[in-house]
A and B are shown apart, each in its own frame.
Chain A
Amino acid sequence: MASGGVAGFLRIAAWVAVFALCACAPASHETTLKLWAFGPEGEAVGKLLTEFEQTHPGVHVVVQNLPLTAMHEKLLTAFAGDALPDLCQLGNTWIPEFAVLGALEPLQAYVDQSEVVRREDYFAGIWDTNVIDGALYGVSWYVDTRLLFYRKDLLAAAGFDHAPRDWDEWRRAMAAIKRNQGADRYAIFLPLNEFEPLLNLAIQQSDPLLRDGDTRGNFESAGFRRALDFYVEAFREHWAPSMSNTQIANVWDEFGKGYFAFYITGPWNIGEFKRRLPAELQGSWSTAPLPGAHGPGGGAAGGASLAIFRTSRHKQLAWELTEFLSGVKQQQRFYMLTGDLPARRSAWDFGAIQTDEYTRAFRTQLERVKPTPKVPEWERIANEMQLAAERVVRGGESADTALRALDAKVDDVILAKRRALLAARARQ
């Protein structure tokens, strides 16, 4: 090394000293609260925190913004390495996993004494995602659910003046649109590598997705079969192209070009479509609640909660921050900053959100959402479910065979350890 020797050593020592001073200075008279967040929420939340810090002198909130794709891994390794923050934004399908890990602080006692967080103001299906085995582990921060984005003009050209409300109407609409579209355009885009569209059709059914206390698959039930048949029919009738989303270069662009008229997706795409579709198309798209088998359907409860980690040394303060971010005013500001939909009903009573025609369908559907099964293995099961559906659509396997194999895989491989552990606990 050119600059090695004593000079180099002294330089390193000087840097270490500088860093040590920087790290110590604020800690001496301030409490630091660490919040981990991901994506656009992580960027926006900083703007809300100034107010919190003003009402809490001596408290400094440090927001660590992590990429969504790395978040799950990061949290697990932080848990293993005992380096978790005080609180974090936790996708509500991750809550069961961290509850099993024992990483989360139960929050019911805090909620009981709170004047801000009131359970009855939250959408019931959304609140329920935070409850594992009767204990509350998070407070919903923002919500989402997937529903129908559709092209009004293509639907009107096919002779429909409103979005379909049940599956029969939806079938007729897709068949009519497909007739207008011709051979190389479609009525709906259901990406074959995404489990969410099928999951949302399936979760509307009265049969649960798992059975026996969430220790076995229930995919051979009549309800799931009904959802799968409807899903497969869309491909068989060529209403939907047999494609993954990796094969579509740009969904917004294709939606604008009319490659398909229906797309099942979430609230984050409202902003994307407003921004990316050309001005002349802005009047010709809308959103509608997902149709159900017989009348309005529901969907899976999505979004993220704020959760406090058991290892935090500032739990009361972390709760105060959770409370602050759950306040109606902050929920509304957060909506204005990110477009994320508020988790509590009273936060929806204000101009900007009520006059937005695209959020209305979400408001309706949020009353009918259900949580996905609350087991840590759920995402893996959902992936297997989608692979089974893909085998039926692309590989021509029969639905009976695919579902039998799916239940067997879920029972024998994915949920086997959970079942064994629960049985052992029951014996004790």
Chain B
Amino acid sequence: MSGERAAWTFVAPALFVLGVFLALPVAAALLLSFTDFDIYALANLDNLRFVGLGNYIEVLRTPLFWKSLLNTVWFVALALPLSLAVSLGAALLLNSPLVRFRGLHRTALFAPVVTTVVAVAIIWRYLFHTRYGLINYALGHFGIGPVDWLGDPHWAMPALVLFAVWKNFGYNMIILLAGLQAIPQDLYEAARIDGASAARRFWHITLPCLRPVLLLVAVITIAGYFQLFAEPYVMTRGDPLQSTVSVLYFMYEEGFKWWNLGRACAIAFLLFALILVITRVLLRLARAQDHNA
């Protein structure tokens, strides 16, 4: 009994902090999402009306919400496989016994993760520049005409994907590298004795052994990419033709630009539900496969 009390005493500060700074704001936001809290309500609380699910219905009826959702899904669909592939590729390279100066390379590849988005976004905006950008300059050598990266509604999102993947792959790379290093070397040795090629060793040993780590990385990445915000905020402000408005950017504009806090909270909870469902489904699929295997 006294052991239990001691345990509660130890977790109490953490619980208190979580309660005040997490549970309470989340509960308040949920309440707010059922009201039409806006500038008029801020002026006089008499102007605050309880609208029930009104905000949710209105958000679901706003074309821009669906557009932003589609933009976000498109971003995740492009960025997730690319990000995983680049991270895995970099991790494999770093793990190769042929690599020298491993520490230096690891630091260099991890560097984008610790840079500030705003600063590197400015550099990337120069890289993407239609007339002076390095990317179009390089493409020009292959005879590919200048691409209006940030001005063409079709190219703006892929441009953000490139930026985001470059910015984030180092983080996943470190996790995958740890996963790679945990694979027992005798598996590879046995395979090599049996005459398995490098490709087959990758396919039949590395990938299956890495599955739990890959799943974890995928779930973290999906949850992170669905909250796409900083990239469009600093690179395009949702332009062109709202083709880079993500769900979170849409929420930011509703809440902090137009001060429709009720509606913004509703968007936040819709996004939360969406991410919850997707990661759940992903985990369940993975577990089902584990049982089959």
Contact = CB atoms under 8 A, between A and B. Distances in A.
B39 A376 contact: yes
B239 A244 contact: yes
Contacts of B235: 246
Interface stretch (B79-87, B106-114, B123-131): B123-131
A159 B43 CA distance: 56
A192 B47 contact: no
A255 to B, nearest CB: 15
Given A102-B44, A193-B239, A246 B39 contact: no
B39 A101 contact: yes
Interface stretch (B147-155, B160-168, B279-287): B147-155
Given A249-B132, A391-B241, A242 B125 contact: no
B16 interface: no
B202 interface: no
Interface string A360-392: 000000000000000011001000000100110
B239 A249 contact: no
A100 interface: yes
Given A76-B259, A247-B130, A100 B40 contact: yes
A79 B42 contact: yes
**Interface SS of chain B:** loop
B236 interface: yes
Given A242-B151, A244-B239, A390-B240, A76 B125 contact: no
B256 to A, nearest CB: 6
A417 B54 CA distance: 13
Interface in B27-69: 36, 38-40, 42-44, 47, 58, 62
Given A242-B151, A247-B130, A390 B237 contact: no
A421 interface: yes
A73 B256 contact: yes
A394 interface: yes
Contacts of B62: 413
Given A101-B43, A417-B40, A421-B47, A244 B126 contact: no
Nearest to A243: B151
A245 B233 CA distance: 14
Interface in B201-245: 235-237, 239-242
A236 to B, nearest CB: 17
A74 B126 CA distance: 31
A43 interface: no
B272 interface: no
A80 B42 contact: yes
B258 interface: yes
Interface of B: 36, 38-40, 42-44, 47, 58, 62, 125-126, 129-130, 132, 148, 150-151, 153, 235-237, 239-242, 256-259
Interface of A: 73, 76, 79-80, 97, 100-102, 192-193, 242-244, 246-247, 249, 376-377, 380, 387, 390-391, 394-395, 413, 417-418, 421
7 contacts: A193-B240, A247-B130, A247-B148, A249-B132, A390-B241, A394-B240, A417-B40
Given A100-B40, A244-B239, A249-B132, 8 more contacts: A244-B150, A246-B239, A249-B125, A249-B129, A394-B240, A395-B153, A413-B58, A421-B47
